[in-house]
Structure 1
Amino acid sequence: MRRALTTLRRVLPWVAVSLFLAQFSAMVGLTAYESLRKKYRKLRRFPHTAPQPIPVADNEVTVYTYGEDLYRDMLQAINEAETVIHFETYIWKGDSTGLEFKQALVNAADRGVQVNVIWDEFANLVVPRAFYRLPPNIRVLRHPAFPRPWSPKQWGRDHRKLLVVDRRVGFIGGYNIGKLYATGWRDTHARVVGPDVAELENAFVDFWNDHNRRGKQPELANDMVRSWQTPLVLHRNTPRISVYPIRNMYLEAIDRAQDRIWLTHAYLIPDDDLVTALRQAVKRGVDVRIIVPAKSNHVVADWLSRGFYTELLSSGIRLFLYQGAMVHSKTATIDGSWATIGTANLDRLSLLGNYEVNLEVIDGDVAAHMEHVFLVDESNTVEITLEGWRQRSLGKKLTEQLLSPLRPLF
């Protein structure tokens, strides 16, 4: 027995190292192959819906599914700003689209508008530093690329995308800023016009004041008037204080569903509770459908996601692979009554790691529109069947199993 234990102690480290090397090699190989494929990929047109304002209580909500439409209206809001602009983004490319936004913000500051800007440094490491040299009349807060382990305020990436102008119009959703996203990606954003823009402004101001290290920038006034009763509710994940309400928002909405749950997500790596909630919904007769990209911009995330497909399909959940473009939306609509549009993916990084914002809308007209958007997207998908999925190659099955221990990291 003692000899066997001694042998086991010697072998286990080698097994662990071999497993790590195999996983690392698989990730490197997949990433390299995907990078090569992207060089020769041809972007094609995909179906999308036209933006149309929808009255919601005292507000107006517009849903965008095409980047050019969104950027046009965002730039118009910036160009018409008179008092204050709050601009926050995860990725801000230094290309022609990024430069257009930069110039619009500079012009606004030059005409006397207070311009406050936040971006995530890690997400933009590949962008030349010179692009982010903004004039001193623009207030800047950079979320640091490499957080200090002893500083919880810096934990988690700032994955949020917000624009608030003059307390009258606000934008929220999955779109980053860049030329590719304008025409090459299928994403979803919302514009809010009306008193509940205060929800978006409050989210920006709280983040700014909480992360304004050493008071290098002026503190922003937190004096917006927010309603106690509104069909528009903003949920914010805040790693600094370990608060993650977006996950609970999804679980509660899924648990209430009686007829249909339609989800569209860029990365599908759900935890056990989310999988259980969706499976239970199917058992009580709910039509559960999920659209994900056939090939996303993160190939490793794709392979980790595929490890869930057998369980989901076996439960009666329907899966649809979006074709010809990256679908980057983070949306859901349930029972023709409830919808959410935001920045959080269904994975650990978003639900228990990053700073995220999701707009929850309890309104039949918005939910009906989001169902229309879903069906338009569904027309550009291929549905996976359980029988067809089981027939995938042995190599694919083994790769999924090899990478499956990495799921908690994503």
Structure 2
Amino acid sequence: MEKLYQILALAGVIGYWLLVASVTIRVVIKRRAVSVSLAWLMIIYIIPFVGVLLYFLFGELNLGRKRAERSQKMFKPYGEWFTQLHECQAHQPTLLNIQLSQIHDLCSNRTAIPALCGNTLSLQDTPEKILRSIIDDIESAKDNIRIEFYIWQNGGLVDAVNSALIQAAKRGVNIQILIDSAGSPKFFRSHWYGLMKESGIKIIQALEVNAFRMFFRRLDLRLHRKIITIDDEVAYTGSMNMVDPLYFKQDSGVGQWIDIMVRVTGPTVNILAAIHAWDWEVETGERNLPSFPLCSIEPNGALHPIQVVPSGPGMPENLIQQVLTLAINQAKESVRITTPYFVPSDNLLQVLKMTAQRGVLVELIIPRKNDSLLVNWASKSFFSELLDAGVRIYQFGGGLLHTKSVVIDQQYCLIGSVNLDMRSLWLNFELTLAVDDKEFTKELYWVQDRYLSQSISISPSEWEQRNFTHRMLERGFYLFNPLL
């Protein structure tokens, strides 16, 4: 019997060794950032068995067979729809400034989505202003409403949004809502979910989470976009989920969440509606492309060009990071960034350092308190490098700063759902707008000024005096970079 145990033990050791060896080879041959591969190898070897299991669950970008097949089939018809936009009057590539022109060339070559002119933009920077504006537009809807969010939580003015949607459905408006399954479990158990479905609203749990699906799709792949389009005439996007911050995560100890949204009219609305249609079809198999935009622009009117930049599985890889890199590299005077979660890729880290080292003012505003313990500590592991390079880092003390924005030279900006972390840049379904509008950018810059007034600057000399325990926590949590 003892010999049998010895044989079984030896077989187990050999089997585990073969498993680890095969996973190691798989990690190495995957084409990704070296730091990510090294971090995964450390997790696999430092945490026996569990490390291998974590890699199988979270190590690779696996959309699932059905969704992957749909995405492949969809790329051609959606590409043709986007390509038609290049012929419309609102497409004026020769009139774009050099910065947006290069972003336009990158996006139109990789996704066929061009920058379009003839838009209007309204920056909304308080929850009440955002939600009441959304309610007013829903109450005016006549034909269709498309919505997608990561988090939908009832309470406060969100209940008024729910009521407005139910009333719109009752008067015959076609409403399609995509809500991320993992981000909104409470909503799907609420009475509002039942009431909205009974009224005729089509509500889909995007990327549904259950134990069975973990073997067929990466569970932490999430729908993180925030999009509302109404009658293909009005759209909203930005950083705020469908929540009223006065009723959201009040016991998390980080304060009220601080967000912004952009209200858009013009031909860019149809592109945002097409992005929603893409996500809807990936999830359901139903095609419902929006109407083609009128594309008219007023003679001698302001152009207000916007480039829509989507990312996610099935779409061109790494596009948003490329746009970020391109925009920051073009900066001549200043780059100001706000993000709640800062765990940058090696490439983005080097771009930020190099930009500061060539004399450009680089400012990074992040929340002092974060709802993610892992991210809170992992982000601090980058501070020394950035501070040494001349990047100015500020910690916002007025709540959880959730706004995702980048202002370049106070001339143009990026605004959307994208955090500066590996999850947003590599994994999730995300959306950002590149906006070439000086007045709008100036408005956003003033909002960032307000954030700065509630922030404390991190002094390089004081940062170097942090204790040994602090440094070890930074390095320890940094190991989990691939999971953040």
Tell me the alpha carbon deviations over residues 350-383 of structure 1, each in whole angstroms, 9 at most, x when there is no partner: 0100000111101222222222121111111000
Match of 1:185 among 234, 254, 257: 257
Is the Cα contact below 8 Å between 2:117 and 2:267 reproduced in 1?
Answer: no
Larger of the two Rg values belongs to structure: 2
Is the Cα contact below 8 Å between 2:169 and 2:199 reproduced in 1?
Answer: no
Cα deviation for residue 70 of structure 1 reads 0.5
1:290 and 1:14 map into 2 onto residues whose CA distance is 33
Aligned positions of 1:218-229 closer than 5 A: 219-225=287-293
SS at match of 1:262: strand
Aligned positions of 1:98-137 closer than 5 A: 98-127=158-187, 129-130=189-190, 131-133=192-194, 134-135=197-198, 137=200
The aligned residue for residue 201 of structure 1 is 273
2:50 and 2:281 map into 1 onto residues whose CA distance is 41
The aligned residue for residue 235 of structure 2 is 170
SS at match of 1:71: helix
More deviation in 79-88 or 127-136? Answer: 127-136
More deviation in 260-269 or 117-126? Answer: 117-126
Q: Do residues 381 (structure 1) and 455 (structure 2) align?
A: yes
Match of 1:317 among 386, 391, 395: 391
The alpha-carbon distance between structure 1 residues 258 and 181, as it changes in their structure 2 partners (threshold 3 A), is farther
Query: Which structure 1 residue ranges, 5 or more long, are not aligned?
Result: 1-5, 25-55
2:43 and 2:476 map into 1 onto residues whose CA distance is 17
Query: Which structure 2 residue ranges, 5 or more long, are not aligned?
Result: 1-12, 18-41, 55-115, 249-255, 297-302
Is the Cα contact below 8 Å between 1:155 and 1:240 reproduced in 2?
Answer: no
1:59 and 1:14 map into 2 onto residues whose CA distance is 50
The alpha-carbon distance between structure 1 residues 351 and 181, as it changes in their structure 2 partners (threshold 3 A), is farther
Is the Cα contact below 8 Å between 1:202 and 1:224 reproduced in 2?
Answer: no
Tell me the alpha carbon deviations over residues 76-118 of structure 1, each in whole angstroms, 9 at most, x when there is no partner: 1111111111111110013233322221111100011111111
* TM score, norm. by length of structure 2: 0.70
Counterpart of 2:266, as a letter, is: G
Tell me the alpha carbon deviations over residues 312-362 of structure 1, each in whole angstroms, 9 at most, x when there is no partner: 111100000000311001101001222011001000110100000111101
SS at match of 1:295: coil
SS at match of 1:123: coil
* TM score, norm. by length of structure 1: 0.82
SS at match of 2:317: coil
More deviation in 220-229 or 272-281? Answer: 220-229
Counterpart of 1:72, as a letter, is: R
2:353 and 2:125 map into 1 onto residues whose CA distance is 29
The aligned residue for residue 37 of structure 1 is none
Match of 1:263 among 304, 312, 337: 337
Is the Cα contact below 8 Å between 1:237 and 1:246 reproduced in 2?
Answer: yes
SS at match of 1:367: helix
Cα deviation for residue 132 of structure 1 reads 2.0
1:289 and 1:353 map into 2 onto residues whose CA distance is 26
Match of 2:326 among 252, 276, 279: 252
Is the Cα contact below 8 Å between 1:164 and 1:201 reproduced in 2?
Answer: yes
The aligned residue for residue 402 of structure 1 is 476
- Identify, as 1 or 2, the structure richer in strand: 1
The alpha-carbon distance between structure 1 residues 339 and 128, as it changes in their structure 2 partners (threshold 3 A), is same
The aligned residue for residue 225 of structure 2 is 160
Aligned positions of 1:251-330 closer than 5 A: 251-330=325-404
State percent identity of aligned pairs: 25
Q: Do residues 87 (structure 1) and 87 (structure 2) align?
A: no
Is the Cα contact below 8 Å between 1:236 and 1:357 reproduced in 2?
Answer: yes
2:281 and 2:46 map into 1 onto residues whose CA distance is 44
The alpha-carbon distance between structure 1 residues 310 and 13, as it changes in their structure 2 partners (threshold 3 A), is closer
Is the Cα contact below 8 Å between 2:270 and 2:291 reproduced in 1?
Answer: no
Is the Cα contact below 8 Å between 1:332 and 1:341 reproduced in 2?
Answer: yes
1:396 and 1:202 map into 2 onto residues whose CA distance is 46
Tell me the alpha carbon deviations over residues 151-190 of structure 1, each in whole angstroms, 9 at most, x when there is no partner: 6698820001111111111000110122226892211211
The aligned residue for residue 427 of structure 2 is 353
The aligned residue for residue 441 of structure 2 is 367
1:268 and 1:208 map into 2 onto residues whose CA distance is 29
Give aligned pairs, total: 364
1:285 and 1:408 map into 2 onto residues whose CA distance is 31
More deviation in 386-395 or 339-348? Answer: 386-395
